[in-house]
Amino acid sequence: MDNVYTLVGLRADGVAPVVDIRPASEADGGLRAGAAFLAEHASCSKVEIWLDGQILTTLSRSAEPAGEGL
């Protein structure tokens, strides 16, 4: 799929119970979509933000990027 973010929610134990697809219409590298994902999925402590098969970043509940930079 083109122009979509794949959001992979991760629990504290590393299990990924939720995956979501959202439009990549924002130029913020998926940060807004990732923050909204965490707000919707309380069981996830982190979310990986992917675009075109590459991970862009990982957000933790603290809303600070925890992985690769944008």
pLDDT in tens, 47-64: 999 998 899 999 998 655
**In sequence order, what are the residues at sequence separation of 6 or more whose Cβ sits closer than 8 angstroms to the Cβ of residue 44?**
9, 10, 11, 17, 18, 37, 38
> Where in the sequence is the domain holding 16, given as residue range(s)?
4-60
Q: Considering the domain boundaries, does residue 69 fall inside one?
A: no
> Does a structural domain hold residue 66?
no
pLDDT under 70: residue ranges of the chain: 1-2, 26, 62-70
Q: Count how many domains the chain has.
A: 1
Asked, for residue 49, whether it belongs to a domain, the answer is yes
DSSP 8-state secondary structure symbol assigned to residue 42: T
| Residue 10 near residue 16 (C-beta atoms within 8 A) | yes
30 part of a folded domain: yes
Residue 37 inside a domain? The answer is yes
In the three-class reduction of DSSP (H, G, I as helix; E, B as strand; rest coil), residue 20 is classed as strand
What pTM value is reported for the model?
0.80
The reply to whether 68 falls in a domain is no
Locus of tokens 């925890």: 66
Residue 67 lies in a domain: no
